[in-house]
């Protein structure tokens, strides 16, 4: 094949993914609760992994040794090793967030109340955090045990355990403690309480961000040559929070096989919560990437639906860094590991590759270049099959894709236009999944996101995904689906966004609990009742297959719809009510708004009280996009099953149907893609 476009690479990834599959990997862990971040892996008892617990003060030196492959360690220590000592490591993820607390018999409101008091802290991250909090609050401090009226005195203790008797003796002093020492201290010392959550103080200073206290690191050798093993570990780390919350009663038993003090701890809900174990990756990585293996041609969904599912994943990974991502793996033909490894029909390889680029990728990489002769993936699709022929369909279609991508070379690094954002928040997802409420099966958080995404994508509107820490500047529309866990800061941010001319869409089951998963008191959706012009009064869970009929309000063009999953009952604000767009037509909540809109400042806010059928969302977002002034990728209505995506000055129009489709003056054969630049067709 001629010179192939620089950002399409055909790699024999077998070289990367099969290295040292029979070897072992050494993981160093601090002997303390940060090691909970990897409990999931320890529970698997995989002989490939050799686990070494060390004193937390020795973790940095342990990571420096040659036999260390991976580790959990303080994030500050990891950065120091990388920057100053040239240890070949990379931070893969942050896993422990702000698990330090000020304990005392004296209660305070905030950091300013610490003036005139003594704080005991251990060396390292602990004392550094206290100094940071005080400095950012313009509070003077001294490093001594001498009490000064307008200053905070800080003195160093040799260990956290040493602080406990000091707190028992002096009711006016404070001690910086983390788990499990904190739980032990609260049991031992009468009247001892948590006086201040240091994480909350850090968050106030840093725009609601969490302090990345401990992280997971890997040696460069692991990253470069043992990709498959590392991916497995990362996958377990991602699921670990859910795992430890479901396994509290047996956590200590997991550590019985290791030389760790954690085997002697009685874990409970409060202890686990205060450890603040989580998984965050995006901000610490340089480039977002993913492997894409959709199941095309399933009887249960159309090619368009499969394409929309894939597009949503592309946009999710684009959103991680708000810049072009890399597609690291895809199949040129078929897989060998799905229940049915369906062959891609002619044209799908092109459709899939160009869709990737349209949604913001700067690479289209294939697994595998040449079909391997043995092992697990010997029957996996390849650009060059076992016959070695260049006239095979997978080869010729891949070569065609390469030529098309070469034509598009200038699109590299081009960002997508900001139009709509959907709030996808991992903290919220986990809180939803762990809650017991009006419906505990089939809530389908991901399904809810898809309904909004698909309707916008079919309109040709660019969609990104944001969390509650995101800057909403530049978006015309922000969709808030099932934001059960809503922070104070984000509620205010949504109100300000609408006040300044933006459009917000809030769905049912939003604004229920705070960031500690405690129910909000007062009217709900919390923090959004003024924005929405209504309040939630009741909520009814629907059985599978159960629906409630909804009809449009007088003068509204929305179609009749079926409401399912959850049906919220809302009361309109008496002074500044929302305008109903659709009304429930049956059951005890007949006449209450199923959908409503409310003018707020220069913008507006929509409320959707239930989950509706596809026709409703398509009509709703068609009207909303037009009302907001969001320009679709293609200026005219597209035939059913045809999708359009804009990236910079490039517009991709893709026929996801078996039949030819006409777009403008262009006839697209089945599964074919046409690309325009500045509305001049390229191919």
pLDDT tens digits, 636-669: 999 999 999 999 999 999 999 999 999 999 999 9
Q: Which residue has the tokens 């262009």?
A: 666
pLDDT band at residue 4 under the 50/70/90 scheme: very low
Is the alpha carbon torsion for 143, 147, 150, 154 positive or negative?
Answer: positive
Tokens of 308: 């929309």
Query: How far apart (Å, rounded) are the C-alpha atoms in residues 247 and 63?
Result: 29
- Each residue's pLDDT tens digit, 508-567: 999 999 988 899 999 999 999 999 999 999 999 999 999 999 999 999 999 999 999 999
Alpha-carbon Rg of the chain, whole angstroms?
28
Query: How far apart (Å, rounded) are the C-alpha atoms in residues 531 and 578?
Result: 9
Query: How far apart (Å, rounded) are the C-alpha atoms in residues 179 and 100?
Result: 8
- Each residue's pLDDT tens digit, 57-66: 889 899 988 8
Assess whether pLDDT exceeds 90 at residue 455: yes
Query: How far apart (Å, rounded) are the C-alpha atoms in residues 279 and 292?
Result: 22
User: Residues 102, 194: contact at Cβ < 8 Å?
Assistant: yes
CA-to-CA dists, residue 277 to 35, 175, 177, 210, 244, angstroms: 10, 22, 16, 11, 9
pLDDT band at residue 338 under the 50/70/90 scheme: confident
Of 420, 455, 461, 422, nearest to 634 by C-alpha is 461
Predicted pLDDT of residue 355 = 98
Q: Which residues pair with 675 in a beta bridge?
A: 652
Query: How far apart (Å, rounded) are the C-alpha atoms in residues 392 and 410?
Result: 30
Query: How far apart (Å, rounded) are the C-alpha atoms in residues 656 and 645?
Result: 13
Task: Report helix, strand or coil for 32.
Answer: coil
Query: How far apart (Å, rounded) are the C-alpha atoms in residues 647 and 239?
Result: 33
Scanning 500-536, the segments in alpha helix (DSSP H) are 529-532
Of 592, 589, 645, 638, nearest to 618 by C-alpha is 638
User: Residues 417, 426: contact at Cβ < 8 Å?
Assistant: no
Task: Report helix, strand or coil for 446.
Answer: helix
Query: How far apart (Å, rounded) are the C-alpha atoms in residues 563 and 566?
Result: 8
Task: Report helix, strand or coil for 459.
Answer: coil
pLDDT band at residue 282 under the 50/70/90 scheme: low
């Amino acid at each position: 094949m001629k010179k192939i476009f620089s950002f399409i690479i055909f790699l024999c990834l077998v070289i990367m993914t099969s290295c040292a599959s029979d070897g072992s990997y050494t993981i160093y862990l601090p002997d303390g609760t940060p090691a909970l971040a990897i409990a999931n892996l320890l529970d698997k008892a995989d002989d490939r992994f050799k686990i070494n617990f060390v004193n937390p003060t020795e973790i940095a030196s342990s990571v420096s040794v040659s036999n260390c492959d991976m580790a959990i360690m303080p994030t500050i220590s990891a950065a120091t090793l990388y920057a100053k000592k040239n240890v070949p490591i990379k931070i893969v993820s942050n896993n422990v967030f702000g698990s330090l607390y000020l304990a005392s018999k004296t209660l305070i409101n905030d950091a300013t109340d610490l003036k005139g008091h003594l704080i005991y802290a251990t060396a390292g991250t602990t004392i550094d955090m206290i100094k940071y909090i005080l400095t950012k609050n313009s509070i003077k401090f001294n490093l001594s045990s001498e009490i000064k009226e307008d200053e905070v005195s800080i003195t160093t203790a040799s260990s956290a355990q040493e602080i406990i008797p000091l707190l028992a003796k002096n009711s006016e002093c404070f001690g910086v403690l983390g788990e499990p020492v904190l739980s032990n201290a609260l049991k031992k010392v009468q009247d001892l309480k948590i006086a201040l959550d240091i994480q909350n103080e850090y968050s106030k200073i840093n725009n609601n961000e969490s302090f990345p206290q401990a992280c997971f690191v890997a040696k460069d050798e692991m990253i470069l040559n043992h990709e498959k093993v590392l991916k497995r570990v990362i996958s377990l780390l991602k699921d670990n929070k859910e795992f430890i919350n479901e396994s509290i009663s047996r956590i200590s038993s997991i550590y019985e096989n290791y030389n760790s003090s954690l085997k002697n701890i009685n874990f409970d809900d409060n202890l686990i919560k205060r450890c603040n174990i989580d998984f965050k990756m995006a901000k610490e990585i340089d480039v977002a990437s993913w492997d894409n293996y959709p199941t095309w041609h399933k009887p249960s969904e159309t090619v368009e639906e499969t394409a929309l599912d894939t597009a949503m994943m592309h946009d999710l990974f684009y959103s991680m860094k708000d810049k072009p991502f890399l597609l690291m793996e895809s199949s040129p033909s078929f897989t060998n590991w799905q229940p049915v490894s369906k062959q891609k029909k002619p044209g799908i390889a092109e459709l899939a590759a160009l869709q990737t680029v349209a949604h913001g990728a700067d690479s289209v990489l294939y697994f595998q270049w040449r079909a391997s002769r043995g092992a697990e993936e010997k029957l996996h699709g390849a650009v060059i099959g076992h016959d070695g022929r260049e006239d095979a369909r997978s080869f010729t279609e891949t070569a065609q894709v390469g030529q098309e991508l070469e034509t598009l070379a200038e699109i590299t690094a081009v960002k997508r236009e900001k139009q709509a954002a959907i709030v996808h928040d991992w903290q919220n997802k986990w809180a939803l999944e762990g809650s017991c409420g009006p419906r505990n099966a089939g809530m389908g958080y991901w399904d809810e996101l898809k309904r909004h995404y698909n309707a916008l994508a079919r309109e040709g509107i660019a969609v990104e995904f944001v969390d509650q820490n995101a800057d909403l500047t530049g978006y015309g529309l922000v969709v808030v689906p099932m934001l059960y866990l809503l922070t104070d800061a984000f509620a205010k941010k949504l109100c300000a966004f609408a006040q300044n001319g933006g459009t917000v869409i809030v769905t049912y089951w939003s604004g229920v609990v705070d960031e500690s998963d405690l129910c909000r008191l007062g009217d709900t959706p919390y923090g959004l009742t003024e924005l929405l012009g209504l309040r939630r009064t009741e909520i009814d869970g629907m059985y599978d297959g159960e629906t409630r009929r909804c009809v449009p309000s007088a003068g509204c063009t929305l179609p009749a719809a079926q409401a399912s999953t959850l049906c919220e009952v809302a009361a309109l604000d008496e002074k500044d009510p929302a305008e109903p767009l659709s009304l429930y037509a049956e059951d005890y909540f007949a006449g209450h708004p199923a959908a409503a809109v409310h003018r707020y400042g220069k913008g507006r806010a929509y409320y959707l009280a239930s989950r509706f059928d596809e026709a409703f969302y398509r009509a709703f977002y068609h009207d909303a996009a037009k009302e907001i002034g969001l320009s679709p990728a293609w200026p005219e209505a597209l035939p059913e099953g045809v999708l359009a995506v804009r990236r910079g000055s490039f517009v991709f129009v893709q026929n996801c149907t078996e039949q030819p489709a006409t777009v403008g003056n262009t006839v697209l054969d089945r599964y074919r893609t046409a690309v325009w630049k500045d509305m001049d067709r390229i191919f």
